[in-house]
Amino acid sequence: FLGGLAKIILNLTLIPNPSIGIYGAPIGSIACQSIAFFVSFYVLRKNLTFKLDFKKYFIKPLFSSALMGICVYFIYEFTSQYLGKISTLLSIGLGVIIYFAAILKLKVFSEEELKSIPIVGRFIKN
């Protein structure tokens, strides 16, 4: 509710602003999702019997996302000159691989958690 309310307020105030315009919509969406995440994380952390690690479930995925975004940007910028529209698909595909590699390298998931994912579990040795 709080995230949705923030999105409505931000959209109504930012989008009509000429200096921000349509960019107010993604700002509102990011604020909405951030508020929803932090409220949910707080409630889960307060009510669960085991401890949720903020670094593991927030900082490491955030870093992986930022790394992926930067790499996708540069991959697209470099390949769009040569490959045209295919560079979009290429940069998205490589972005998925980069994100997954970063998540694995930072050990966000345990081996047991990875094995529980149907497609990924097939590639993990017992």
Residue 123 carries which DSSP code? Answer: T
Q: Render pLDDT for 69-79 as a digit per residue (tens, 0 to 9).
A: 999 999 999 99
Measured torsion, CA atoms of residues 106, 51, 114, 62, in degrees rounded to the nearest 10: -40
Query: How many other CB atoms are found less than 10 A from the CB of residue 91?
Result: 21
Query: Is-above-0.85 flag for pTM?
Result: no
Residue 21: exposed, middle, or buried by beta-carbon count in 10 A (0-12, 13-18, 19+)? exposed
Residue 125: pLDDT above 70? Answer: no
Residue 121: pLDDT above 70? Answer: no
Q: Render pLDDT for 47-68 as a digit per residue (tens, 0 to 9).
A: 888 887 888 888 999 999 999 9
CB pairs under 8 A, 24+ apart, for 84-90?
none
CA atoms within 13 A on the CB side of 66: 6
